[in-house]
């Protein structure tokens, strides 16, 4: 007897346009990207969510050369959680975007806070050496 595969449950309060979309559109810059979210089913519990992004790339705004780094995004959700595919596409949007390392970390934190209003958040970027100097940047909320 052939079994049908289970259909994903739809939650009426969730509007995720990126997850499950068969056609992935890669945003050209962070200005064109969007962080989508879904309801936190445990808003009364303080727990950490960590995203480890070891292959982050952006462009140096002066030379246009690629900069490589490792971002770690940690947050304690409030009412919303960021959806991981949306976060992946958002981070990918920096690939052709000229920005300094300090701006990357602070922009990611600001955009995350704007999108989901977490209780707490930390974004850390460890960027590869350039000219013999490695840069680490960490921004926290609140």
Query: Would you please indicate which residues are annotated as catalytic (active-site) residues?
Result: 60, 67
> Positive or negative CA dihedral for 110, 115, 120, 125?
negative
Residues paired with 37 in a beta bridge: 82
C-beta neighbour count of 121 within 10 angstroms: 24
Q: Give, in degrees to the nearest 5, the angle at Cα 71 between 112 and 84.
A: 50
Rounded-to-integer distance, Cα 75 and Cα 93, Å: 21
């Amino acid at each position: 007897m052939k079994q049908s595969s289970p259909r994903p449950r739809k939650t009426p309060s969730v509007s995720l346009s990126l997850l499950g979309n068969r056609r992935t559109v890669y945003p050209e810059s962070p200005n064109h990207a969007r962080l989508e979210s879904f309801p936190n089913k445990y808003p009364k519990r303080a727990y950490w969510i960590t995203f480890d992004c070891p292959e982050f790339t952006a462009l140096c705004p002066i030379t246009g050369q690629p900069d490589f780094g490792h971002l770690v995004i940690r947050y304690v959700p409030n009412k919303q959680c960021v959806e991981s595919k949306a976060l992946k596409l958002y981070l990918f949007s920096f690939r052709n975007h000229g920005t300094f390392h300090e701006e990357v970390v602070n922009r990611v934190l600001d955009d995350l806070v704007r999108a989901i209003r977490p209780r707490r958040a930390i974004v850390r970027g460890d960027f590869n050496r350039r000219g013999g100097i490695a840069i680490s940047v960490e921004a926290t909320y609140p």
